[in-house]
Structure 1
């Protein structure tokens, strides 16, 4: 290449519409290929450097960090991965902004006497929000002897998905759920069943409860009143099998009494907030449990 085809840093900057400082920065990082040096030791650049500089500036216009730009320049197929990562990050940022906007509207529209409490609740939630505290609550609540597969499936079903574009009342519901699960005493809570009725084989109980709740959810969706049927039989059978006993009329009476007396206000509040957070999600496990408990009570105490 003839020397007249080579440019100084200033000439390259002028051709690219950039500042000398910018060109020197990228050159110092090794992102711009040098075509040679002048007799005085000054850098000289050719058309390849101009093309590379234009590509760098295009990538930076998309707000790609310089390390990601370096990856794209060094690896032929890195651009796809970098774009995917940026889209994920942007999605997280947009979700955080939508939650922040809904939280501000929640505070703007609430009665002045409620503002301090709501500000405290909302201020305790990270941005973007996370359900880690809720999942941690369930890991503490569930019996320690449960297999990992059951713990995972229960948490998946019990921890609500967060809306990407929440309404103010959904922000409030989640803030209250976060506060509830962060401050509750797990030793006093048991999902779906009373602690004394877990029996010596909790895995058997929770496996059976999952099936019973699924059957009850179908009845709830169909707007059926609590009553006898497959869902109730499965529910009682799960408790009986956990204790290694038979499903008898006497057992059903005792189970109804124990579960009714052990009704937990924390778990009741939990499921109420989950339903408020996503009203379109269908019946919760808590709603299914309440339906089954009502069905059991109607069977053992007719007319009550």
Structure 2
């Protein structure tokens, strides 16, 4: 059966202009011409045109399509190559989307936007170097804190979700916060001296149950709980100033998102109650 360019267009859903373009490029050569010199196409050309249309809609370039149409490459081969290229493009687009979403949400300045863009584009090695440097400065070179350093290390997967990318951008921004580094350094010092461990246990064992039971922080019962902590109120207030820094808990929340962990239990309500009870 012989088809005109118009008939090919109707059968494939392409425009006459598109069919003529593919024919002129040699992707769909005519099988002959009629007496008036007009191009005619056979069923093989119709099948080639359908393949060309499909591959173009999948984003393949004309040179690659020619390889497939001429039998120089299989559809499976070019599909695998194209899928890899698309995966890379998708990763780039995810990063751009995460940065733009973060900028819009936070109303970032041009300087902050540039920083977030740079942090989002870091390689795995660069991310590791950034985090290791942050933790080394915050925790110091203390072997006894090596386990804590590991639990505070984000591990962004090779193909992160939009939420994980957004969390990484925010967490990476926190690592650049000199005040936050100082907070962690102070908590590390107190952890090494036992104060942080002891008070954290006391909060879980005494303060949290009182909070859940609805004990007012300005009540005699609350005062007895504070006295039972065996810490001077001034010492407690100083500890709370660091441990109740919202950046500490936010870091842990972001870390859980990046690493795919369950959301951490918030200590903020109990710490707020204790701060009120020691005011």
Q: TM-score, normalised by structure 1?
A: 0.42
- TM-score (ref. length: structure 2): 0.45
